[in-house]
Amino acid sequence: MAKLWAGRFSKNTDETVNAFNASILFDQRLYPQDIEGSLAHSEMLARQGIISLEDKEAIHQGLKEIKEALDQKQIVLDQRYEDIHMAIEQILTEKIGDAGKRLHTGRSRNDQVALDVRLYVRKELLEVSELLKELLRTLVQIAKENTHTILPGYTHLQRAQPISFGHEMMAYANMIRRDVKRIHNTLEVMDECPLGSGALAGTTYPLDRELSASLLGFSKACDNSLDGVSDRDYCLEAMSDLSILMMHLSRLSEEVIAWCSWEFKFIELDDAFATGSSIMPQKKNPDICELIRGKTGRVYGDLMQLLTTMKGIPLAYNKDMQEDKESVFDAFDTVKICLQVLIPMLETMQVLDENMKNAAMKGFINATDMADYLTRKGMPFRDAYKITGQLVAKALEKKQGLNELSLDELKEYSDLFEDDVYDAIDLLTCLNARLTKGGPSPAEVSRQIKVMEEFIDSL
Ligand code: ARG
């Protein structure tokens, strides 16, 4: 097939070069965006009197038919076409003749591809944002059911202080809320349309760039044509957002993996969201979480690839930038599938509150509360800290919890101990008392949940 750019060439392209140069095998998924862009461009051309109304009608009719045929996979897009932009123009011209050849008036593939990728990133970001809304709903639901479910909170993976499983879920909800905000911010920053930037220097036709921009749902046309064709910041920003999001999902996955182990046994995954071993009949593995943790590296890689590709490119368009697509596609595909399996996995997992409670009973996580008890009775905190430490050592020696030491034993260390100490170091008391804003008390977590629900409703 002759190239659309064949004019100045006297030889056909070498076959290997053809294959090397072509992006059609991966950029064909941009066909809806490419057609959307062409519909808007031709509409604007007609309204500006640059093409006739009849030509525009023919172009629109032809593009709609091509879109339907592509939706139904009736057209095979192969390497003869080089890329999706040339493919559609060529198929259109075969269909409607000269009108098809007028579509590209005042446009270059450089602003065309810059537009297509931008439209694609915008659509994908909105999809991810919807999935995150679902994830937030799930986390809030689990939190609501578990405001009183005592869980040992950890630092250094050592049992530290009592929290609730609801508090833990709300921590993740807060991370995801920031992810949503970051995505919305990216959408705002990228809200300008590159169409009309031409190859690099605009065009001599009287284009109405603001009209094209508004037809395509952008608030404005971008301000500089060189930047318009060579800006891929929005891809990088989107992939940065996705990388941070994956980091959050990976941390949650890491915890779920630990919680599923016999060592913790804080949760039980639903059979539909766990996998077995080919040799060990007893195994029920949290493969989903391991894959999410693993795929996080892959999304970081996607971001690194494009950052590295972009850093040495002089203005304006260079073919290096064709390398923007596969990593952007991969990052979105990966994040979406991760969220699609993670959400129902969380929804169906069983919270083993007894096991959480038992673990909480064993780790001396009420030691701070015992020190606070003595402090409230007048002892300087540092002294209270030291005495409680000694009591922990004693309890360890006796293989007991702090609450199992008798009042006489406690009094050997300080006269300030009274009967009310047992209530003061009861785990539920410890939890209820942590009322500071952001803390784990059921009342406070309920407040956090309310704030989060308002955020979800505002989306
Ligand atoms: N397939 C190309 C890309 O994805 C389209 C733009 C080509 N422009 C050019 N001047 N060769 O970047």
State the ipTM, two decimals: 0.97
Greater pLDDT, 312 or 13: 312
Co-location of 81 and 116 in the same domain = no
380 and 331 in one domain?
no
Q: Do residues 52 and 173 both lie within one domain?
A: no
Our answer on whether the CB atom of 112 is closer than 6 Å to any ligand 1 atom is no
Q: What is the pLDDT of residues 359-383, one digit of tens each?
A: 999 989 999 999 999 999 999 999 9
Please check whether residues 126 and 245 belong to one and the same domain: yes
Residue range 386-402: average pLDDT? Answer: 96
> Is 1 inside any structural domain?
no
Q: Is 113 in the pocket of ligand 1 (CB under 6 A)?
A: yes
Residue whose CA is at the smallest distance from ligand 1 atom 3: 322
pLDDT, one tens digit per residue, over 52-91 is 999 999 999 999 999 999 999 999 998 889 999 999 999 9
User: What's the CATH code of the domain at 346?
Assistant: 1.20.200.10
pLDDT score, position 363: 86
The mean pLDDT value for 337-357 works out to 97
Q: In this structure, is residue 161 part of a structural domain?
A: yes
The CATH number given to whatever domain includes residue 41 is 1.10.275.10
Mean of pLDDT values over 339-349: 98
Peptide bond before residue 395 is cis, with ω within 30 degrees of 0: no
Average pLDDT, the chain: 96
pLDDT above 80 for 295: yes
> Do the domain assignments include residue 6?
no
Picking from 358, 391, 413, the residue at the C-terminal end of a domain is 358
Q: Which atom of ligand 1 is nearest to the CA of 84?
A: 1
pLDDT at 279: 78
Q: Clarify whether residues 332 and 453 are in a common domain.
A: no
Domain of residue 89, residue span: 17-105
Q: Do residues 114 and 101 share a domain?
A: no
Q: Is the same domain home to 398 and 450?
A: yes
Is 12 contained in some domain?
no
Within a domain: 58: yes
* Same structural domain, 132 and 258: yes
* End residue of a domain, out of 358, 381, 401: 358
Residue 80 has a pLDDT of: 84
pLDDT of residue 276: 83
Q: Give the mutation target among 84, 322, 324, 328 for probing the ligand 1 site: most ligand atoms within 8 A of CB.
A: 322
Q: How many domains does the chain have?
A: 3
Point out the ligand 1 atom lying closest to the alpha carbon of residue 325.
4
Is there a catalytic annotation at residue 60? no
Evaluate whether residue 420 is within a structural domain.
yes
Q: How confident is residue 282, by pLDDT bands cut at 50, 70 and 90?
A: confident
> Does one domain contain both 284 and 367?
no
Let me know if residue 148 belongs to a domain: yes
Domain-terminating residue out of 67, 84, 105: 105
Q: What is the mean pLDDT of residues 392-408?
A: 95
In this structure, the answer to whether residues 77 and 225 fall within a common structural domain is no
Residue 28 maps to a domain? yes
Clarify whether residues 265 and 312 are in a common domain.
yes
242-261 pLDDT tens trace: 999 999 999 999 999 999 99
pLDDT score for 78 = 85
Per-residue confidence band for 283, with pLDDT thresholds at 50, 70 and 90: confident
pLDDT at position 324:
98
Over residues 298-311, mean pLDDT? 98
The pLDDT value recorded for residue 442 is 97
For residues 269 and 334, state if they share a domain: yes
